[in-house]
Structure 1
Amino acid sequence: MSNSVEFNAQEHQYEIHVDGTFAGFTKAFVSGDVVTFPHTEILDEFEGQGLASQLVTGALDDVRAKGKKVIATCPYVSRFIEKHAEYADLLA
């Protein structure tokens, strides 16, 4: 199984694909040097595979690579950052 996370600027979201099939997203609204994450969703048929964690990891790694900060209004992204202290420095 091959998973990929990419930013879809037109839809304002990071998307995760499993073997080329769309499996979920985390909304990401960019304003200057800050990215706000209000909602994350994995499609029902892909739940329970750890994809939300992979998706958020990919999104936060990309935000870091771009030198931006994060506002996590999505409960999942907020909890993820709390549990993974290596991303705490990204909080705006």
Structure 2
Amino acid sequence: METVRDNKAEQEFELTVGRHRAVAAYQMEGETIVFTHTLVPKAVAGHGAATKLVRAALDSARDRGLKVIPQCPFVAAYIDKHPEYRDLL
């Protein structure tokens, strides 16, 4: 798998797997990043792409000192399962 990239112009974290592109979309609200949805193509679903994408996005938010609002159910579930990210809420 390739590296997760923050496409700030599109407000999406991106991960390209082969010819497929997975994204975690967000909106910035001051010092808060709101994750609105995660989209992983069916062809690469179930292989850890969403996990890698969300982990990198949350690590980026932490590095930038941002608070997180997980409107996306996948991001919310990821934070619930990984308590080390709860301080970002």
- Identify whether the pair has TM-score above 0.5, normalized to the shorter chain: yes
CA displacement 1:26-46 (0-9 Å, x = unmatched): 111111110000100101211
Matched, 1:9 2:8: yes
1:1-92 aligned within 5 A: 2-18=1-17, 21-91=19-89
Taking the aligned partners of 2:20 and 2:61, their CA distance within structure 1 comes to 21
Deviation at 1:22, TM superposition (A): 4.4
Gap regions ≥5 residues in structure 2: none
RMSD across aligned positions (CA) = 1.2
TM-score (norm 2): 0.93
Count of residue pairs brought into register by the alignment: 89
CA displacement 1:61-86 (0-9 Å, x = unmatched): 00000000100010000000000000
TM-score (norm 1): 0.90
Query: Segments of 4+ in structure 1 off by > 6 A?
Result: none
Gap regions ≥5 residues in structure 1: none
Deviation at 1:23, TM superposition (A): 2.3
Taking the aligned partners of 2:84 and 2:13, their CA distance within structure 1 comes to 20
